[in-house]
Amino acid sequence: MTGLLAVGVVVALALATGGLDSQGRPTAAGTTPASPEPSPTNDAPTPAPSATPTWDGQVKVLGDGSTSYTGPQPKQPTPEKLKPGEKPPQFVVFSWDGALEGDEHLFSRFRKLGVENNAQMTFFLSGLYTLPKSKRALYHPPQHDVGAASIDFATDPHIKDTLEQLRLAWLDGNEIGTHFNGHFCKAKGGGEWSTDEWKSELDQSISFVTNWKTNTGFKDLPPLPFDYTKELVGGRAPCLEGQKALLPAEKAAGFRYDASSPGEFQVWPVKKEGIWNFPLQMLPFPARSTQGLSMDYNFLAGQSGDNLNGDPRKYDVWEKEARESYLAGFERVYNGSRAPLFIGNHFENWNGGIYMQAIEDVMKSVCKRDGVRCVSFRQVADWLDAQDPKVLDKLRALDPGQPGDWSRLVK
């Protein structure tokens, strides 16, 4: 084993430096460049070996064995700069708040749909879904009693199933973000929390996910295949409340984006407080001649109020309304500015599951279309960070339905 390990380290160093090693072995792990392309050292950032931990092919179990480092995440696209004359890709992000694998098996359903439809997504995990109810006293929510929560604690079988889905989702290339913990809204909720209170909420969420093995006693389960302290780079606040105080907490934690902003126009994103702001968006709502927010809860509120099980005779119409709103939002930018489409949902069964069906239909309808990329929020951030800021400024000047002068976007 030791010999293998040593070889792995040499290979990793050769890759990192991109040149001949001191013994004159071939570059890049023995692969001699066969193409006439310029040396990768000219256009690809070469991490300094001393500054970057090298992957030696060994699984590194972290902490109590709840998480592990298994190498860079599989199935990730390489962000590419737009070329002259090129039209921007149409990004579509499907995102899921909570991410519990419950009795409805919605996490596994959409994870499989993602694989089948070429869609990678963002799962905003509620950290509490990795904490058993018997250990609820470990949770100290801001402005609430110890162990309190606005969502139900998961059952032990659901915690196990959720851990399994998280593991598979990450291996499929999906992103695991955070929906924080107790889902407190309105009075004493996230909208009233200070930055320090948000920091505490975030730290606790990370702690639950990185210590589930100790807290649950599920010693026979494999570790999550990622280092959550590094993979976690974005979140969505429950009820989309409290972004102002939350942003500095996220920035301090090294986040790259926040997806908590409600109801903004469907335009190319900007940064807020130094991180990308990926809002839910106002989409055309054809059936009501108005605009509606790109989230299941807002369709529910507009259709059956706060009744989660409205009149079943209306389900077909409501489902069609939701689907058509998402598709209208898609078509507007797909044939227009190409601004990313951001969609948020919970795993729920409201009004007979019509909002889940609407999302499934939209995913099947759009993700394989020409130029469309159904991706995670982090992958959108990667792409934006790879672009010329001047190009992004031009894109931001476009109205949602207004195509750019694509032949002259990048010169």
Q: Which residues bind Zn ion (CB under 5 A)?
A: 97, 238
Of residues 238 and 284, the one with the C-beta less far from Zn ion: 238
Minimum distance between the CB of residue 236 and Zn ion, rounded to whole angstroms?
Answer: 7
Minimum distance between the CB of residue 248 and Zn ion, rounded to whole angstroms?
Answer: 22
Closest CA to 221 of 373, 338, 65: 65
Of residues 67 and 181, the one with the C-beta less far from Zn ion: 181
Q: How far apart are CA 87 and CA 80, in angstroms?
A: 13
Q: Give the CB-nearest residue to Zn ion.
A: 97
What would you report as the CA-atom Rg of the chain, rounded to the nearest whole angstrom?
A: 22
Of residues 178 and 303, the one with the C-beta less far from Zn ion: 178
Closest CA to 343 of 308, 302, 296: 296
Of residues 238 and 310, the one with the C-beta less far from Zn ion: 238
SS3 content of the chain, % helix, strand, coil (to 5): 45, 15, 45
Of residues 184 and 326, the one with the C-beta less far from Zn ion: 184
Of residues 82 and 359, the one with the C-beta less far from Zn ion: 359
Q: Residues 239, 181: contact at Cβ < 8 Å?
A: no
Contacts 24+ apart (CB under 8 A), 382-390: 382/77, 382/79, 383/79, 383/80, 383/89, 383/91, 384/269, 384/276, 385/79, 386/79, 386/80, 386/81, 387/81, 387/82, 388/81, 388/82
Minimum distance between the CB of residue 376 and Zn ion, rounded to whole angstroms?
Answer: 18
Minimum distance between the CB of residue 385 and Zn ion, rounded to whole angstroms?
Answer: 27
Q: How far apart are CA 216 and CA 2, in angstroms?
A: 34
Of residues 238 and 279, the one with the C-beta less far from Zn ion: 238
Q: Which residue has the tokens 């359903």?
A: 109
Minimum distance between the CB of residue 98 and Zn ion, rounded to whole angstroms?
Answer: 6
DSSP state of 67: E
Minimum distance between the CB of residue 205 and Zn ion, rounded to whole angstroms?
Answer: 13
Minimum distance between the CB of residue 20 and Zn ion, rounded to whole angstroms?
Answer: 53
Q: How far apart are CA 364 and CA 285, in angstroms?
A: 20
Q: How far apart are CA 191 and CA 180, in angstroms?
A: 13
The two tokens of residue 219 are 């010693």
Of residues 182 and 400, the one with the C-beta less far from Zn ion: 182
Minimum distance between the CB of residue 297 and Zn ion, rounded to whole angstroms?
Answer: 8
Minimum distance between the CB of residue 346 and Zn ion, rounded to whole angstroms?
Answer: 6
Q: How far apart are CA 279 and CA 297, in angstroms?
A: 15
Of residues 208 and 383, the one with the C-beta less far from Zn ion: 208
Phi, psi of 224 (to 5 degrees): -60, 145
Of residues 14 and 245, the one with the C-beta less far from Zn ion: 245
H or E element at residue 171: helix 156-171
Burial (Cβ within 10 Å: 0-12, 13-18, ≥19) of residue 383: buried
Four-CA torsion 282, 285, 290, 294, nearest 10 degrees = -20
Minimum distance between the CB of residue 300 and Zn ion, rounded to whole angstroms?
Answer: 12
